[in-house]
A = this chain, B = another copy of it.
Amino acid sequence: MKIKIANHSGFCYGVRRAIDLAIKNSSEQKTYSYGDIIHNEDEINRLKSYNIEPVYDIANMEQNAKVVIRSHGEPRKTYEKLKEQNATIVDATCPYVKRIHSLIEEYSSNGFTIFLIGNKDHPEVTASIGWSRSDIFVFGDPDELLSFDKELDNVLVLSQTTIKESLWDSCAEIIGKKYKNVVFINTICSATSLRQNSTRALAAEVDAMLIIGGKKSSNTKKLYEISYSINKNTFFYENKDEIIVQKFKIYDIIGISAGASTPKWVVDELVEKLLNESEE
């Protein structure tokens, strides 16, 4: 049996790094993650074995606690509040999000108004807003921009990391027509499109595809749909317990892709089971 694992499968870099940092900084003393570090129950339970537990309100944390800022990032005032509590901060903000914070801080200090294309209610956007030193406006769709009529001198336009390129393009077009001095820096992260594209490419070249991830994970479902549209031998499993290896012995090459919230160890266990039992 040959197994091909899709490039850009599983956790994006920012999430993997956040979990690695949390574990690396864990100890016998409890470590808090401020908010959920990942939307995967198995992984949250695994982290509990390292004394890492989520907290949703800083007020519920004791003084001098250790706390991980998750990959989404936090506004500047969260850091200030944590410092008031004498917390030890492990900053696991995704480096691509951190770059947005730096750009906002730098340009807003230099007389620019900031436009952020994204979803006002998304925690990443809430965090980014909190780094501006002057006016910052969030636009979730082109219509909101059309009805916006403030006169402005210098504008910096950035994006939430997870929006679609088409939304960026349509918003940038309107802004370009409305304003004279504008710097556009597309800060979309490619993790989602890379994951989908490599699943698509792999599905086309293998005999069967296994999509690994939570049944409720919408991005994993999307991977399943993409794969199934290309390769009808596509199967969706949550973990190794659900797979019957016997069924796959008829295939020569099996492709594997995993959702953004699927831990690597879940995939590793499944690959091991496939290889071991296909030998029998």
- Give me the interface of A with B, judged by CB distance under 8 Å: 1-8, 13, 17, 95, 154, 172, 176, 179-188, 190, 194, 198, 252-253, 271, 275, 279
Contacts and interface: CB of A to CB of B under 8 A. Distances in A.
Given A190-B8, A190-B194, A275 B2 contact: no
Contacts of A182: 2-3
A180 B2 CA distance: 6
Interface SS of chain A: mixed
A246 to B, nearest CB: 17
B95 A183 contact: no
A82 B168 CA distance: 48
Contacts of A271: 183
17 contacts: A2-B176, A2-B179, A4-B172, A4-B184, A5-B186, A6-B186, A7-B185, A7-B187, A7-B188, A7-B190, A13-B13, A13-B95, A17-B95, A154-B275, A181-B279, A183-B275, A190-B194
A181 B4 contact: no
A190 B7 CA distance: 10
A2 B181 contact: yes
A190 B181 CA distance: 32
Nearest to A255: B184
A33 B7 CA distance: 30
Contacts of A185: 4-5, 7
B184 A5 contact: yes
Contacts of A188: 7
Contacts of A17: 95
A129 to B, nearest CB: 21
Contacts of A154: 275
A271 B154 CA distance: 13
Closest 5 CB pairs of A and B: A7-B186, A4-B184, A2-B182, A5-B185, A3-B183
Q: Which of A6, A190, A252, A271 has the most CB atoms of chain B within a 10 A radius of its CB?
A: A190
A259 to B, nearest CB: 17
A1 B153 CA distance: 11
